[in-house]
Structure 1
Amino acid sequence: MRLHSLRFRLVDSPTSLGAKRRALRAAWLSDTFPNLADMTVLDLGGRVDSWARVPVRPAHVHVVNLEPLPADLPDWAEADHADACELPRSILSRSYDLVFSNSVLEHVGGHERRRRMAEAVRELGRAYWVQTPYRYFPVEPHWVAPGMQFLPVSARVVMARRWPLAYSPGKSYEAAMRQVLTTELIGRAELRYLFPDATIRNERLLGLTKSIIAIRRD
């Protein structure tokens, strides 16, 4: 329990290191796209409330997620329940100034689905920003577990159930297996392959690459 509260202080609380990193990334986004306040943004896998807290909010944000939709939406936002790798025609027929995705690419379920998501990103956005945790950072970020991403599936399932810094230690075997099999970190080579027209940026922590970002400017 003590270690689980440590996770909250390190990653999840509004004053945590994780929150500070997310705020820094939001500032980096607005610096990269100086016209962000006037842009239309498609956010694949994000949440509307995240955009309500950023220092620069786009003119319009369209959030697509598999989570239940928010009951009330501000006038600058819309939301759809859809799969980022199998977007409906109603979304594929549109275009956006910027397609944005933060820590989603590693969860979509294998390379072929990542390829489909990347294809949609590149076609729908005049510009894009796709961030994903870096496979070779020494600490797996979802479980805050050193080297967990390099273990066999069976060992990762055990850690997902028992590691005290996980989101919810003690989960069932089926839930842990599902979580492990839908969390696959990637490296620079695959990100370059998925986004050949992008610049790859490194987000660093203590001098080490913590996440990688594929960026295409308009």
Structure 2
Amino acid sequence: MGHNRLRHRLVDSDQSWSARQRRRRSDWLARTFPDIGDMHVVDLGGRLGTWHRATVRPARVTVVNLEQPPAAVPEWAHVEQADACDLPAHVVNGTYDLVFSNSVLEHVGGHERRLRFAAATRSLADRHWVQTPYRYFPIEPHWIAPGMQFLPIRLRTALARRWPLGHKPTRSHEAAIHQVLWTELLDRSQMRHYFPDSRMLIERVAGLPKSLIAVRTGA
């Protein structure tokens, strides 16, 4: 229970350190796109909760996620159950002002699928904001474990089964290795490769790069 309370204070509660970081990032998004309140935003891989908590909510939000859509969807939103790396034609043919993605690119499943995700981002709108945790920040953000991302798969899997601050605690080897293999943190060279025409913003904590944000503000 003590570890659960610690994770709650660090990450999960609305007053946690992580929640404060998310609010700062939301403010940054609003400053970067001052007309976001009038936009139709397509959120690749996100959830509606992001926009309920946003500093400024867009006029319209389309969320694309592999998960089953929630039972209740507000009138300003639409949720599409789909793969952001292989979008259905009716999503591709939609009209959007901004593509948004937060902490998704590291979970899409390898280099080839990241290329497809980046291509989809560029094709959907002239403007985008794509954030992903930085590989060389000393704390692995999903498990809140120092240096975990640098360990061999076998040790990362063992740690995922036992580390008490993980985002999805599990004792099963198969579940743990599934989580580990679906989490690949990126560095700056990779992000520049996937988004060569974007400006790269660096989110810092205590002076250290914590996440990378590929931003394009217009054609």
Work out the CA distance in 1 between the residues paired with 2:65 and 2:156: 26
Whole-angstrom distance in 1 between the partners of 2:24 and 2:209: 15
Partner of 1:50: 50
Moved more, 207-216 or 160-169: 160-169
How many residue pairs match? The answer is 218
Closer, same or farther: CA 179–97 of 1 in aligned 2, 3 Å? same
Aligned partners of 2:168, 2:126: CA distance in 1, in Å?
39
Q: CA deviation at 1:2?
A: 1.6
TM-score of the aligned structures, taking structure 1 as reference length: 0.98
**Same amino acid, percent of matched pairs:** 58
Question: Runs of 4+ in structure 1 displaced over 2 angstroms?
Answer: 167-171
CA displacement 1:169-212 (0-9 Å, x = unmatched):
34311110110000000001010000011000000001100000
What amino acid does structure 2 have at the position aligned with 1:160?
A
Q: Secondary structure at the match of 1:61?
A: strand
Q: TM-score, normalised by structure 2?
A: 0.97
Q: Map of 1:106-185 to 2, 5 A cutoff? A: 106-185=106-185
**Could you say what secondary structure the match of 1:96 adopts?**
coil
> Shift in Å at residue 168 of structure 1?
3.7
Q: Secondary structure of 1:113's partner?
A: helix
Letter in 1 for 2:80: D
Give the equivalent residue in structure 1 for 2:187. Answer: 187
| CA distance in structure 2 between the partners assigned to 1:49 and 1:6 by the alignment | 22
Unaligned runs of 5+ in 1: none
Aligned mates of 1:59, 1:184 — CA distance in 2:
33
- Aligned partner of 2:31 in structure 1 is 31
Q: 1: distance between equivalents of 2:53 and 2:166?
A: 25
Amino acid aligned to 1:36: I
Amino acid at match of 2:92: L
Give the 3-state SS of the residue equivalent to 2:158 in structure 1: helix
Contact 1:4 1:166 in 2 (8 A): no
- Could you tell me how far apart the structure 2 residues matched to 1:30 and 1:47 are? 18
- The CA deviation at 1:103 is 0.1
Any idea what the Cα deviations from partners look like across 1:31-58, whole Å, max 9, x if unmatched?
Answer: 0001000011000011113212212110
Gaps of 5+ in 2: none
1:41-93 CA-partner distances (Å, limit 9, x unpaired): 00001111321221211010000001110112111100100011111111111
- What is the letter of the counterpart of residue 173 of structure 1? H
